[in-house]
C-alpha cells in the first residue's frame, strides 16, 4: 500500500496484491474457527462482553498495541486517500478510460469517461491502495482473534491443572 503513495508508477506487481487479497479469506476463516473451538469468541467477543474485550486489549504488550494501532491507522488512511479517485480504470487501443453507470441517460446505460495517462495511473494507484488496505485490516483482525483464542486456551489449561485431583491409594 505504501508504494501507491510514492511518485511515479507503483512498484509492487498486481499479481502480488491479488494473491494477498485472495489469501486473506482462508486466514480469516481459520482464525474464526479457531476462536469458536477455543471459546474465545464467546468469552471475549460476545454481545455482553465488551468490557472484558477492552480489559484484554489493555493487558496486551505496548509494542503489540502500537503495531495494531499503526496497521489500523494506515488502512484507514489507505481507504480515505484511495476512495476519492479510485475508478475501475481500463486501457485499450483507443486510450485510457473508466466506465460508470449513467443514471441521467434514458434508458440508463454505461458510459465511458476518457482519462489522460497521468489520471489513469493515479486512479490505478488509488484502486490498488484500496485493494491492499482491506486485507491489512482482515490480517490484523485475524491475528487478534488467534492471539485471543490462544490466551483462552492457555487460561483453560492452567485452570484445569490447578484443580486438585484426589490421589488414588
How far, rounded to the nearest angstrom, does the alpha carbon of residue 12 sit from its chain's CA centroid? 18
How is residue 80 written as a grid cell? 480515505
Strand boundaries in the chain, DSSP class E: 89-92, 95-102, 109-115
Q: Quick: pLDDT tens for 44-92.
A: 666 777 777 788 888 888 999 999 999 999 999 988 887 766 667 777 8
Q: In sequence order, what are the residues at sequence separation of 6 or more whose Cβ sits closer than 8 angstroms to the Cβ of residue 121? A: 9
The CA-based angle 9-11-15, given to 5 degrees, is 110
For the chain, what are the domain ranges?
14-162
Determine contact, residues 89/97, Cβ cutoff 8 Å: yes
User: Which one, of 65, 80, 78, 92, lies nearest residue 135 by Cα?
Assistant: 78
The pTM for the full model equals: 0.68
Q: Are strands 89-92 and 109-115 parallel, antiparallel or unpaired?
A: unpaired
How is residue 104 written as a grid cell? 441521467
Q: How confident is the model at residue 160 (pLDDT cuts 50, 70, 90)?
A: low
pLDDT of residue 167: 47
**Phi, psi torsion values for 56, nearest 5 degrees:** -65, -45
Q: What Rg do the C-alpha atoms of the chain give, in angstroms?
A: 23
Amino acid at each position: 500500500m505504501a508504494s501507491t503513495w510514492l511518485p511515479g508508477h507503483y512498484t509492487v506487481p498486481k499479481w502480488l496484491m491479488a494473491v494477498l487479497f485472495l489469501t486473506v479469506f482462508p486466514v480469516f476463516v481459520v482464525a474464526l474457527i479457531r476462536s469458536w473451538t477455543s471459546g474465545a469468541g464467546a468469552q471475549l467477543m460476545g454481545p455482553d462482553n465488551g468490557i472484558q474485550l477492552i480489559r484484554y486489549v489493555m493487558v496486551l504488550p505496548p509494542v503489540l498495541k502500537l503495531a495494531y494501532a499503526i496497521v489500523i491507522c494506515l488502512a484507514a488512511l489507505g481507504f480515505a486517500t484511495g476512495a476519492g479517485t479510485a475508478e475501475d480504470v481500463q486501457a485499450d487501443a483507443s486510450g485510457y478510460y473508466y466506465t460508470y453507470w449513467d443514471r441521467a441517460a434514458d434508458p440508463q446505460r454505461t458510459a465511458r469517461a476518457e482519462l489522460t495517462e497521468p489520471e489513469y495511473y493515479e486512479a490505478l494507484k488509488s484502486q490498488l491502495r484500496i485493494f491492499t488496505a482491506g486485507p491489512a485490516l482482515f490480517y490484523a483482525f485475524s491475528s487478534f482473534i488467534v492471539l485471543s483464542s490462544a490466551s483462552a486456551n492457555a487460561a483453560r489449561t492452567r485452570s484445569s491443572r490447578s484443580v486438585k485431583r484426589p490421589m488414588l491409594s
